[in-house]
Amino acid sequence: MSTAVAHDTGAPDAPSGRDVLLEARGVVMRFGGLTAVDDVDLTVREGEIVGLIGPNGAGKTTFFNCLTGLYKPTEGEVRLSGTVLPPKPGRVVRAGMSRTFQNIRLFANMTALENVMVGRYCRTKAGAFDSILRTPRFRREEAQTRERAQELLDYVGLGRSTELLARNMPYGDQRRLEIARALATDPKVLLLDEPTAGMNPQETADAERLIFKIRDSGLAVVVIEHDMRFIFNLCDRVLCLVRGKTLIEGTPGEVQSDPRVIEAYIGTGDGTEPDDPDDIDAKIEAQVEAREAREGGRG
């Protein structure tokens, strides 16, 4: 049942020969007068790991939010396996693209297992009547959900933490749990937003191994990361965003040696830029959250 994850396929072929899974064309995201993402293209093929780098405020997370339907892009479209994705998070997940969050957003008061089981929600069908009457379909599905969730926890190395409350878990484990939850939706493409933020070197190495393992099982992975060594080790291709625009796209080697990339990173530090040097992503995030809070938060 877990063909996507269960077996290793060995060394991948050259990525360019594979089918295109995710294709974003001309994505633009404006907030009032501020253009956070400006005409960004992204192509991700089967079995590929693509890195998304860029200084703070380059619009990486905003771009992720556009891809996953959390924001409705002002312009441009996102296709998954050729079909245009509507800007609705639920539909995007069902279509086969799942994500983790920069600031971990687990269901804190649920156990690890329950968190992953929630991820199975969109792949199960038992409705209210099945649940109330405990029909055979309900029992079968519930058992499968549980089994699959446990399998995924084992897969990310949390097999022994099944019954721990998410809020009681160590930070690194929480990040891995988020990956397991995302994998539970049976994605074709997995988007990871800073999967190693706040991790020690040992945990980072573990995370790297886990991402390779996920890739080898046939998924495509897009990673936002600040840790350059991590990203250049991991990725087949790297896309560098600066102030919402694509600066360069290429192999890790090409991007690493490009003087503009270095300048972009150093340039943000000296404060001479005309644009707001602060983290635009964080600002937008804060604004959007404030609005959501106003329009009625958790009920």
Partner 1 sequence: MNDIPQQLVNGLTNGSLYALIAVGYTVVYGIVQLINFAHGEVFMIGAFGALSTWFLLFRDNTSVWVLPVMIAGAIAASVATAVIMERIAYRPLRHAPRLAPLITAIGISVFLQEFVRLFYGTIPGFPSAKSKIPFPAIDGVTGSPFHLGSVVIQRPALFTMGALLVCGLFLGWFINKTKQGRAMQAVSQDPDTARLMGIDVDRIIVIAFALGAALAAIAGVAQGLQNNNIDFKMGFMAGLKAFTAAVLGGIGNIQGAVVGGLTLGVAEALATVFVTGAWKDVFAFGLLILVLVFRPQGLLGARVVDRA
Partner 2 sequence: MSTTVDRADGANSPDSSAPAPAPRATGKGVPLAYAGSGLMTASALMSWCYDPDVLGDLTLYGNPAPVQLTMLVLGLLGLVLAMSAKGPLRRLGAGLDTSRGAFRLGLGAVAYMALTLAAITAQAGGLVNADPGAWVALVGSLVLVVAGRLGVSRPSRNIGAMRAKGWVEILVLVALVAIALLLVADGLTLRDPWAFVLLLLGVGAAAAGLAGANAFTWLGVTASYHSRVLTLAAFVAAFAFPLTQNGSDANMSIATQVIIFSATALGLNIVVGLAGLLDLGYIAFLGAGAYVGAILSGSAFATIDWQPPFLVTVIIGALFSALLGLIIGSPTLRVSGDYLAIVTLAFGEIFRLAMFNLDGNNGPKITNGPNGIPAIPELNFFGFDFGVTHHLFGIPITRFSNYYLLLLCVIALIIVIFSNLNNSRIGRGWVAIREDEKAADAMGVNVFGLKLLAFAGGAFLAGLAGTIKAHHDVSVTPDQYQFLESAFLLAAVVLGGMGTVGGVLLGAVVLKLLPEKLRFFSEYRLLIFGLLLVLMMRFRPEGLVASKRRKLEFHEDDEHLADKVQTIHLEEKTS
Min. distance of Cβ 230 from partner 1 in angstroms?
31
* Spatial distance between the Cα atoms of 155 and 142, rounded to a whole number of angstroms: 20
- 198 vs 58, 101, 134, 180, 227, CA distance in Å? 20, 13, 43, 19, 11
Does residue 101 touch partner 2 according to CB under 8 A? yes
Question: 10 Å Cβ neighbour count for 34?
Answer: 15
* Spatial distance between the Cα atoms of 82 and 271, rounded to a whole number of angstroms: 42
Question: 10 Å Cβ neighbour count for 7?
Answer: 11
Judged by the rule CB under 8 A, the positions of this chain that interact with partner 1 are 31-32, 286-287, 290-291, 293-295, 297-299
- 49 vs 3, 22, 74, 190, 198, CA distance in Å? 19, 12, 27, 10, 21
Min. distance of Cβ 111 from partner 1 in angstroms?
20
Q: Do the beta carbons of residue 115 and residue 152 sit within 8 Å?
A: no
226: DSSP letter: S
Min. distance of Cβ 135 from partner 2 in angstroms?
11
Does residue 124 touch partner 2 according to CB under 8 A? yes
Q: Which does 287 bind (CB under 5 to 8 A by kind): partner 2, partner 1, none?
A: partner 1
Given the complex with partner 2, which of 79 and 123 has the nearer CB atom? 123
- Provide the β-strand partners of residue 221: 49, 190
Min. distance of Cβ 153 from partner 2 in angstroms?
14
Q: Which of 111, 161, 204, 268 binds partner 2 (CB under 8 A)?
A: 111
Q: Which of 61, 145, 204, 268 binds partner 2 (CB under 8 A)?
A: 145
Q: Of 7-15, 109-117, 194-202, 217-225, which segment contacts partner 2 by CB under 8 A?
A: 109-117
Scan residues 76-95 and list those touching partner 2 (CB under 8 A). Answer: 89-90, 93-94
* Spatial distance between the Cα atoms of 181 and 175, rounded to a whole number of angstroms: 10
Residues 6+ apart with CB under 8 A from 82: 20
Q: Which of 26, 121, 275, 276 binds partner 2 (CB under 8 A)?
A: 121
Min. distance of Cβ 24 from partner 2 in angstroms?
17
Binding site for partner 2 (CB under 8 A): 68, 70, 89-90, 93-94, 98-99, 101, 105-111, 114, 117-124, 126-128, 130-134, 138, 141-142, 145, 163-165, 167-168, 181-182, 185, 292, 295-299
